[in-house]
């Protein structure tokens, strides 16, 4: 298993994430709608909005997965935040980064993974909108584009959340 590397702009990335005051917040239907749409479009039973902090990936929204977070060390999303494109892992069981990862070998049985970065207007990745399956798979070009577009919608919701908080604090 290869643990995700620290992002080159990690301090700024974490500061940006914390500025949205979203970590450990309650579920919100606006985010859950996006995970459900991602699952439906991509034809995958699991969809998550995963935010990567210093030590964990925390799921703002989750469909088809019972846990609220995992350690960053085993996160697929921790790898995905290093690229602007959708990271697709067709079969984690034969990918050196994930073949012996507890998320692949354990109860979660993550075999297929595709994650689109959720990126601030300044270009800092906060996490991903991802879809997962317990069997190998692929996404077509349209599905990848939709996943990327939905990740942008997550960012818009985060920006609106912060703006509303600022307006109400005045």
Residue 3 CB: number of other CB atoms within 10 A? 14
Distance CA 13, CA 127 (A): 10
% of the chain at pLDDT higher than 70: 99
97, containing H or E segment: none
| pLDDT above 70 (res 170) | no
| DSSP-based three-state secondary structure for 128 | strand
Q: What is the pLDDT of residues 94-109, one digit of tens each?
A: 999 999 999 999 988 9
Containing 142, the helix (H) or strand (E) segment is: helix 141-169
Given phi > 0 = left and psi -120 to 50 = alpha, else beta, which region is 21? left
26-76, pLDDT tens digit by residue? Answer: 999 999 999 999 999 999 999 999 999 999 999 999 999 999 999 999 999
Provide the whole-model pTM: 0.94
Spell out the residues 6+ positions from residue 2 whose beta carbon is closer than 8 angstroms to its own: 79, 96, 97, 98
Give residue 165's pLDDT: 86
Q: Name the β-bridge partners of 51.
A: 58, 127
In the prediction, which pLDDT does 129 show?
A: 98
């Amino acid at each position: 298993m290869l643990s995700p590397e620290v992002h080159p702009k990690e301090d700024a990335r974490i500061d940006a994430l914390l500025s949205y005051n979203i970590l450990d917040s309650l579920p919100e239907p606006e985010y859950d709608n996006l995970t459900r749409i991602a699952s439906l479009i991509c034809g995958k039973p699991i969809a998550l909005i995963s935010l990567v902090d210093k030590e964990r990936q925390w799921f703002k929204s989750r469909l088809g997965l019972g846990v609220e977070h995992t350690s960053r060390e085993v996160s697929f999303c921790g790898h995905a935040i290093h690229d602007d494109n959708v990271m697709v892992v067709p079969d984690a069981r034969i990918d050196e980064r994930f073949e012996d990862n507890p998320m692949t070998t354990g109860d979660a049985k993550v075999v297929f993974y595709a994650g689109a970065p959720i990126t601030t207007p300044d270009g800092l990745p906060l996490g991903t909108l991802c879809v997962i399956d317990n069997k190998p798979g692929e996404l077509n070009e349209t599905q990848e584009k939709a996943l990327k577009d939905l990740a942008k919608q997550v960012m818009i919701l985060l920006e609106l959340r912060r703006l509303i908080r600022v307006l109400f604090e005045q």
